[in-house]
Amino acid sequence: MDWLTIVLLVLIVVFVIFRLMPPRGIKSISAGELQEAMKEPKGKQLIDVREPQEYRGGHIQGARNIPIGQVQSAASGIPKDKDTYLICQSGLRSAQAARILKKKGFTNLYNVSGGMKQWKGKIVKK
């Protein structure tokens, strides 16, 4: 293997690692930590960025459904003064939504890593 191939492989690995890490200002929490945080919901909001059919199949009580494709346009209607918790099925779409909101000036953002797959609490089906 020549040095150019090694450098390219290292750059690719570094790029992938940085893409998976949450950006500054976005905290990653577990589903269990979300459950604890939501025991006192005042000053907090939970946004479920899954598609409507996924949301209707089972969501956390009080979660607002804003599908990932609508987060950009809906951002102006989301209060910036609250702690904002984002959840999806696995944590990938919610991380993407957190990046979008961060660019829109949101500061207290929490991505639920593991998403609904890790949620052990009560769910509402509608």
Average pLDDT over residues 38-63: 96
Q: Which residues are catalytic?
A: 88
Angle at 98 between CA 106 and CA 96, to 5 degrees: 150
Residue 6 lies inside a defined structural domain of this protein:
no
The CATH number of whichever domain residue 76 belongs to comes to 3.40.250.10
- Stronger pLDDT, 81 or 24, i.e. the higher one: 81
pTM of the model: 0.82
95-123, pLDDT tens digit by residue?
999 999 999 999 999 999 999 999 999 99
**Which tokens is 113 given?**
């890593």
Whether 72 maps to a domain, the answer reads yes
Question: Does 15 fall in a domain?
Answer: no
Task: Please give the average per-residue pLDDT across 81-101, as a whole number.
Answer: 96
- Report yes or no on 45 lying in a domain: yes
Q: How many domains does the chain have?
A: 1
Residue owning tokens 């890790």: 118
Task: Please give the mean pLDDT across all residues of the chain.
Answer: 93
Asked, for residue 88, whether it belongs to a domain, the answer is yes
Q: Are 111 and 91 in contact (CB under 8 A)?
A: yes
| Domain coverage including residue 105 | 25-118
In a domain, 49, yes or no: yes
Say yes or no to pLDDT of 15 above 80: yes
Does 125 reside within a domain? no
17 belongs to a structural domain: no
The SS3 assignment for 44 reads strand
pLDDT band of residue 93 (cuts 50, 70, 90) is: very high
